[in-house]
A and B are shown apart, each in its own frame.
Chain A
């Protein structure tokens, strides 16, 4: 079956702009998580959505937001971009049961802020 699909794969923005990233999970997966990956920092948790509701949230400023649609597809938005927002943004889907389980990651959206 198809894996997790993220679009766009690469994008370049300038400071102050906003960006929207999209994630299509594996069919049947109801949980979508977002992570920011930067060199040396590993993966930083942004938020997790399940059945269109934000179930978990990380320690990122309010400029970072997300949502999930009824078909489980998810988007994340970053407003007022800063240079430090340059990173690989990874989306991961999972079945989303009560107990934590395997995350299936997409290939990521690489954001460069100039």
Chain B
């Protein structure tokens, strides 16, 4: 089955700096890659997703890049704010609803 590895497990950044989280996947047939954000005590929520026919996607301060050849994808958050502090999960699937999630990255934005 699909195996997704996520790094780093924790990330501390100064407010206003950028944060980058990287994930690798094992199944070259995977073609759907969402990112979920889970604030403390809350439910995970989708923040951005990308499909394999696209190399990059942006939504305001958030961007995701996908390198199919290397089988890795990354989340970039620019101009970080305190409300960006949360656990971020990457995931991969064969464009179905069986998502394989990474172990998560705890992001802390220091004021």
Residues of A whose CB lies within 8 Å of any CB of B are 31, 33, 35, 40-45, 48, 50, 55-59, 90, 94, 96, 99-100, 102-103, 105-108
Q: Is the CB of A103 within 8 A of B99?
A: yes
Contacts of B91 in A (CB 8 A): 43
Q: Is the CB of B97 within 8 A of A48?
A: yes
Given contacts A90-B44, A100-B32, A105-B43, contact A42 B89 (CB under 8 A): yes
Question: Is the contact region of chain A dominated by helix, strand, or loop, or is it mixed?
Answer: strand
Cα A50 to Cα B97 in complex, Å, equals: 10
Q: Is the CB of B89 within 8 A of A100?
A: no
Q: Is the CB of B93 within 8 A of A100?
A: yes
Q: Is the CB of A58 within 8 A of B98?
A: yes
Q: What are 30 residue pairs bridging A and B, where the CB atoms are less than 8 Å apart in the complex? A: A31-B97, A35-B101, A41-B103, A42-B6, A42-B89, A42-B103, A43-B89, A43-B91, A43-B99, A44-B101, A45-B99, A45-B100, A48-B98, A55-B96, A55-B97, A56-B97, A59-B1, A90-B44, A99-B32, A99-B95, A100-B95, A100-B96, A100-B99, A102-B34, A103-B34, A103-B97, A103-B99, A106-B43, A107-B42, A108-B43
